[in-house]
Copies of this chain bind each other. A is one copy, B any other.
């Protein structure tokens, strides 16, 4: 363990400078030297020490990513997309989970900064509580928020247009004939949770349909099941339930069916995200697709342009979502509208 460039240089009978130059090709050496160094490196199994290189170059070839949790399939999908995107540029990803806890999130950011990552991509777990840690990090290193963001708009962000997505979903169920709608989402702790609710409310109000009290819990299958139970226990069902993500929608459909309701005949259900198993549940879920690949590519591209403590105004790139109609919502009626 621990073959250094000095060992290679000695074995090749040249100076460390020549060895380094031969290996990196950043300055010319005679073919003779190049040959000897290459042979020595191969024989000794030399592998450059990335730590030393990072110290000298003041750059680690690493970017840090912090997401609320990797249990949620949306985040695993976006992590994979970011990793794929980075691979092209030879940078590695240090992945951390904040476990939906702003304190853990702040600690993870600290250690990523101590490890001198070249940049950060973060989906802040809490729209308010995450503010100080995120702004502090953005002051020290290029940072881009992906999907979720903190309030105030002071840091760059790439994500889907949450409000527009919910408008699509609401207009779709109304076009299918729904006269009463309800929103099943998450407590309003994240930007996604808030914007999706407000998009829902705006579209529903504009359409003039009956709007029930929203059901707010977690972004999980469990909460979807619970929300379905509550709907069943609260008198006549609404015509449509619009959910803040697919997990909730899948759980909700399951609970409604278990309680004897038919989907979509009695109730239309629409999800959000279109990752994971939306195509493979029963019935296949109508949902709003987030363009995950595009978001990841855009985040990486933007990260390359951002500088730490950038004085220029923060960019906010909202990518348009797309409605994907499957079988959990009633088809659009010819006489609608």
Identify the A interface with B (CB < 8 A): 1, 47-52, 54-55, 60, 62, 70-71, 73, 76-77, 79-80, 83, 92-97, 110-111, 113-116, 140-141, 221-222, 225, 251, 254, 258, 277, 280, 282, 308-309
Contact = CB atoms under 8 A, between A and B. Distances in A.
Contacts of A115: 50-51, 62, 92
B94 A94 contact: yes
Given A225-B280, A282-B254, A282-B258, A51 B60 contact: yes
B71 A76 contact: yes
A114 B50 contact: yes
| Chain copies in the assembled complex | 2
Contacts of A55: 49, 51-52, 55
A115 B91 CA distance: 12
A116 B2 CA distance: 10
A204 B331 CA distance: 48
A226 to B, nearest CB: 11
Given A47-B114, A51-B116, 14 more contacts: A1-B309, A50-B111, A51-B51, A51-B115, A52-B55, A55-B55, A70-B76, A70-B80, A71-B77, A83-B97, A92-B94, A94-B94, A222-B280, A254-B280
Contacts of A54: 51
Nearest to A136: B45
A73 B115 CA distance: 29
A296 B114 CA distance: 26
Contact of A111 (B70, B73, B92): B92
Nearest to A52: B55
Contact of A277 (B83, B221, B258): B221
Contacts of A308: 1
A52 B54 CA distance: 9
B60 A71 contact: no
A110 B114 CA distance: 23
B80 A114 contact: no
Given A1-B308, A94-B94, A114 B48 contact: yes
A116 B50 contact: yes
Contacts of A80: 70-71, 97
Contacts of A221: 277, 280
A130 B254 CA distance: 41
A1 B254 CA distance: 52
Contacts of A114: 47-50
A45 to B, nearest CB: 9
Contact of A49 (B47, B49, B50, B116): B116
28 contacts: A1-B140, A1-B308, A47-B113, A47-B114, A49-B114, A49-B116, A50-B111, A50-B116, A51-B51, A51-B54, A51-B60, A51-B115, A51-B116, A52-B55, A62-B115, A70-B79, A71-B77, A80-B97, A83-B97, A92-B96, A92-B111, A93-B95, A94-B95, A221-B277, A221-B280, A222-B280, A251-B280, A254-B280
A97 to B, nearest CB: 7
A333 to B, nearest CB: 27
A223 B1 CA distance: 43
